Amino acid sequence: MTERVACIAHAASADWERLPEALAVLHRRFGRVPVYPVGSPGEAETTVRELAQEVDVLIVYGGDGTVHQVANGLPAVPAEAPVVAVLPGGTGNDLVRGLGLPVDPVEAARAIVDGEPRAIDLLDTGTHRAVNGLNAGFAAAATDILSRRAKLVLGRAAYTVGGLIAAVQLPRWPVRIEVGDDVHEGEALAVVVGIGPSFGGGRILLPGADLADGLLDATVVPASTAKGELLAALARNRLPEGLPRLRGPSARLVTDMPCRLDGEAVPTPGQVRVLPGAWRLLLPRRV
């Protein structure tokens, strides 16, 4: 049976000009793919709601923010939702990094053209679904430090520059996080909760996190963390060793830190839980 397919593409994607080449790779499987450009806030989510019952496969071309919108527009029951194929066209592309896909959109298309649907987890915050996770504290402040123009000029390096600036300033907040029976409470510089390992364009903040194991991972950067140690670790695109690490199906979080959910600014959620196998992604076949 022929698969019905459509593509939602963020018109301001960093690699917008690569979309025709990526779709040409997928033509062997899907044939001609109609493209629905999106750009304004919430437009991708609205378009997904309109297309969800009409297609079997939904190709998404954009960054983590666009994929975030798509996940929030899908039907809640996975069997009623189309399979999603992600082509990275953003700056961070942390979801595809966590999935082990190439961050080049054409190479990603080659990787999934003969792929199969696979159930992947989502996070639920009560008001939003998340495809990767949240970072709160100086990690979130880093995204706000640089202007949109600076981010367009610097690309992925903007995350590193912003992160280093925020780490030098080192604001701190009181925080309490509970994951199962594990509790961490005290002043902290940052909290990261997610199902994927990569944040901020390839910074591995949750090493070992698995997008399909039904569990979330969380880590806290205590206020007592030495600035030099933190800066040295961030320069290597990670956090210092030995930080508190928590793992479970849900987390409770009490803090007024600034927060980014899949890179989007939101109030820090008080409750986060895993939705196991909540959507299906087209991924390379297992060997």
Active site (annotated) includes residue 264: yes
Pairwise CA distance, residues 103 & 87, whole Å: 8
Max CA distance (Å), the chain:
59
176 burial (CB, 10 Å; 0-12 / 13-18 / 19+) is middle
Structure-derived torsion over alpha carbons of residues 20, 22, 28, 34, reported in degrees to the nearest 10? -50
Identified catalytic residue from 21, 107, 178, 264? 264
Q: How many CB atoms lie within 10 A of CB 124?
A: 17
Pairwise CA distance, residues 284 & 287, whole Å: 9
Tokens of 284: 């390379």
- Which residues are 76's β-sheet partners? none
In the three-class reduction of DSSP (H, G, I as helix; E, B as strand; rest coil), residue 264 is classed as strand
Q: Are 70 and 45 in contact (CB under 8 A)?
A: yes
Annotated catalytic residues are 264
